[in-house]
């Protein structure tokens, strides 16, 4: 299965390494797209090493003029998994904004690929009515939301907003919606 793994700017971005590694070990072709914020928490080199594919960062860096990268990545995708998904990325997708590579790939893939969004943020942000409304809108459009868990958060408080466990994310991606591990 061709999986685009989106990594946005959350402290939970370090867990994307385990997600990429496990999906690759399970035989999937993992292509990582990072937001600039995501690169502040984990390096592209780490994810490239584990996914065995070039990591794409930045808005629209084009290396081959015959290929439009966001359309090419989206066109191949069976699955787009955004883990972690920040309130910012969730809001952009819910609002139809595609102003960076990750949101553009997601928008271009959503009509034919499964899209999984795994939120990770502070409890107050996660429980904000705007974020909840955005998640409900995305659910209504067929996006799959992988619910965050309650845990001790980076800010020191305990609450809902921690990225779901890596094993749970991988299991859901490989089985939800009739997807069988290839």
Hey, what are 56's tokens?
A: 């794409």
Choice among 130, 141, 155, 158 that is catalytic: 155
- What's the rounded Cα separation, in Å, for the pair 51 and 37? 20
Quick check: is 123 catalytic? no
Just list the catalytic residues.
155
């Amino acid at each position: 299965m061709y999986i685009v793994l989106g990594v946005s700017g959350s402290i939970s971005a370090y867990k994307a390494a385990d997600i990429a590694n496990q999906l690759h070990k399970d035989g999937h072709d993992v292509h990582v797209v990072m937001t600039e914020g995501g690169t502040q928490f984990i390096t592209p080199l780490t994810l490239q090493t584990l996914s065995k594919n070039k990591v794409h960062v930045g808005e629209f860096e084009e290396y081959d003029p015959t290929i439009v990268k966001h359309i090419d990545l989206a066109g191949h995708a069976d699955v787009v998994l955004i883990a972690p998904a920040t309130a910012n990325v969730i809001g952009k997708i819910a609002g139809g904004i595609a102003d960076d590579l990750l949101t553009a790939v997601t928008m271009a893939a959503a009509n034919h690929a499964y899209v999984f969004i795994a939120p990770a943020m502070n409890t107050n942000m996660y429980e904000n009515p705007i974020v909840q409304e955005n998640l409900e809108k995305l659910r209504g459009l067929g996006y799959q939301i992988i619910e965050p868990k309650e845990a001790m958060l980076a800010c020191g408080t305990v609450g809902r907003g921690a990225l779901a466990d890596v094993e749970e994310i991988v299991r859901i991606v490989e089985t939800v919606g009739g997807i069988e591990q290839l």
